[in-house]
Structure 1
Amino acid sequence: MGAASIPTKQEMEAAYEVIRKLRMPSVPDIITEVQRLLQEPHLRIDEITSLISQDATLTGEVLKAARSPLYGLSEDVTTIFHAVKVLGIKRLNEITIAVALKASLNPMNEFHAKLWDESLMIAAGSAWLASASGHVDRDEAYLAGLFSNIGCMLLSQGNLKYEILYEKARAYPLTTHELEARLMNTNHSVVGFIVAELWSLPERVCKSIYHLHDTNITPSGVDDLGALISVVRTATAHMEEVRMIKVPESMEFLKFHDSAREELMMEEATYEEFSEYMESLI
């Protein structure tokens, strides 16, 4: 079974040639500090909640996100400390990263907002599938889904042709990567990998973002990343089906769907429940 690779030197150089002209999402100091606190051997919840509470905007957005159906909570969350009790540290960290990433991408145009909404759905769906599978890390799945579209959002900056390219890839038997390579000599998976590394995401998450669209690699052919890639591919396919009125049979992620389901080994009843969950997010 092959090892999951990272982008080649040539791929990285081609990507940097493009993104050096773009506005990259910078990592806020608060994210760096939260990550530092999470890595300490003796975790102090009060320090993390105090840190987040110092930022009124972040506090409001975290509480708003924690109440969202995307997180499946059945009770109202009124304070950051309450959010920690209900969500746990790791899920609070997910929300904090999501809020900070969105803030770093503002202002968003209509196309970016659409991609962001889809990213949240993919992240939530990936996390759901990871939990249901029992053998995929939920937090890794959420982050891989959340950052799955970040490359698209960056490559579309100041490029009016990109939105047309993106929709064309959805409607015709051409992958997004093929069209991006023709237009820009790079692709959004390499760019996504670079951003994920910039945000200090786990190596497995960075690699899964890079391999997500790789048609030459089957899930079982990427060492132990197969299941992680499969949950994001499956969540993406379901997101496409839920959000689009008519999904072309050539849709890229629908091609991955059967092999991804086989990799995850889930019963039909679980997938039906998952489909209902994805529909509830609209």
Structure 2
Amino acid sequence: MPVDPTLRALDIDLPAQPAVLVQLSLLLAEEAVDFKAMGSLIEGDMALAAAVLKALNSPIYGLRQPVRTVQQAIQYLGSNEVAAITYEMGLRSVFPAARELDALWFRANRRGMVMALMARRLGLNAFVAHSAGLFEECGKAVMFRHAPQRYAPILQASPSDDLLVLQEMQAFGVSHDALGAALCETWTLAPAAVTCVRYHVVVQSGGTWPDKPDARPLCALSAVAHYLLRAPEAVETAVRASATLGGLDEERLLEVAQDAHAVLRAA
């Protein structure tokens, strides 16, 4: 999908998708993923491969023994898990290393993980759910990359994302949810993930949900993940508010949300 002309007029550059992710998306689109080709592709970028292996060997994945190669990681965890982490490392690589973004990347990692976990348990596409969670706040990184000195104080001082988008509109004429969705489009993420990123702020604040049935379950997972990360005591309320709108069974969603909470606590 083309980038909104309004965003082009604002002169805010969207970082190009790393070539390895473009090629990886083509491999994942195949009916039967070639694991060997996937491993060789990722390992061809030494910096990316090192970052992927470092992430996969962290305690959160609970591997009994360290993995030494990407091919080994694929055998242990599966192609979707390794692809998801590769996308995370690839996304981070196009933005500056800055302490102002550390909390954003931490939440992106955890959100992607729990949304994928819940999606898998609910019979939804786990890779698409992980992508939606990973990219949810990426518009903030785009904004920071564009104007770090102007944006950093706004980002740090805002108490919530619904207030942040108003401040962003006043300062830049665009909000991070729109920028994030534009980046997702240019990086050819699944349409449901793009919609979830675009609507995550209004969904989480109790606003209007998108009129796109394929995206609504992801929006429900996004809302639940938001509370798992920021206010776990309110997760049950979030589940009740989101299940019907997302077309999901309330009891089942609560069950998988509780499982995801246990994983987060263990991590």
Structure-1 separation of matches of 2:47 and 2:228: 32
Please tell me whether residue 275 in structure 1 is matched to residue 261 in structure 2.
yes
Structure-1 separation of matches of 2:255 and 2:207: 30
Q: 1:159 to 1:58 in 2, by over 3 A?
A: closer
| Contact 2:140–2:176 (CA under 8 A) maintained in structure 1 | yes
Q: 1:90 to 1:272 in 2, by over 3 A?
A: closer
| CA apart distance, 1:67 | 1.8
Q: 1:88 to 1:129 in 2, by over 3 A?
A: same
Q: 1:195 to 1:257 in 2, by over 3 A?
A: same
Please tell me whether residue 139 in structure 1 is matched to residue 123 in structure 2.
no
Tell me the residue number matched to 2:176. 188
Q: Secondary structure at the match of 1:189?
A: helix
Map Cα deviations across residues 54-105 of structure 1 (whole Å, 9 max, x no partner). 2222222221122234444444322221111112122221121111111111
| CA apart distance, 1:258 | 4.2
Q: 1:238 to 1:40 in 2, by over 3 A?
A: closer
| CA apart distance, 1:272 | 3.4
Q: 224-233 or 208-217, which moves further after superposition?
A: 208-217
Tell me the residue number matched to 1:120. 109
Which of these residues, 216, 231, 239, is aligned with residue 241 of structure 1?
A: 231
Query: Where does 1:35-184 land on structure 2 (aligned, <5 Å)?
Result: 35-41=25-31, 43-105=33-95, 107-132=96-121, 134-157=122-145, 158-170=147-159, 174-184=162-172
Map Cα deviations across residues 156-214 of structure 1 (whole Å, 9 max, x no partner). 23243433433444259x53322222222211111111111121111111111112123
Q: Secondary structure at the match of 1:266?
A: helix
Q: Secondary structure at the match of 1:223?
A: coil
| CA apart distance, 1:229 | 0.8
Q: How many residues align?
A: 259
Which of these residues, 184, 203, 208, is aligned with residue 217 of structure 1?
A: 208
The alignment's C-alpha RMSD in Å is: 3.0
Q: 1:43 to 1:109 in 2, by over 3 A?
A: closer
Structure-2 separation of matches of 1:85 and 1:203: 29
Structure-2 separation of matches of 1:260 and 1:41: 33
Structure-1 separation of matches of 2:155 and 2:69: 40
Gaps in structure 1 of 5+ consecutive residues = 1-5
Q: What residue identity is the alignment partner of 2:215?
A: L
Please tell me whether residue 266 in structure 1 is matched to residue 246 in structure 2.
no
| CA apart distance, 1:41 | 4.6
Tell me the residue number matched to 1:14. 6
Instruction: Calculate the TM-score normalised by the size of structure 2.
Output: 0.83
Structure-1 separation of matches of 2:62 and 2:240: 27
| Contact 2:192–2:214 (CA under 8 A) maintained in structure 1 | no
| Contact 1:234–1:257 (CA under 8 A) maintained in structure 2 | yes
Structure-1 separation of matches of 2:70 and 2:152: 38
Structure-2 separation of matches of 1:92 and 1:50: 13
Instruction: Calculate the TM-score normalised by the size of structure 1.
Output: 0.79
Q: 1:54 to 1:147 in 2, by over 3 A?
A: same
Structure-2 separation of matches of 1:272 and 1:144: 20
Q: 52-61 or 94-103, which moves further after superposition?
A: 52-61
Structure-2 separation of matches of 1:261 and 1:279: 23
Structure-1 separation of matches of 2:195 and 2:186: 13
Identity %, equivalent residues = 20
Gaps in structure 2 of 5+ consecutive residues = none
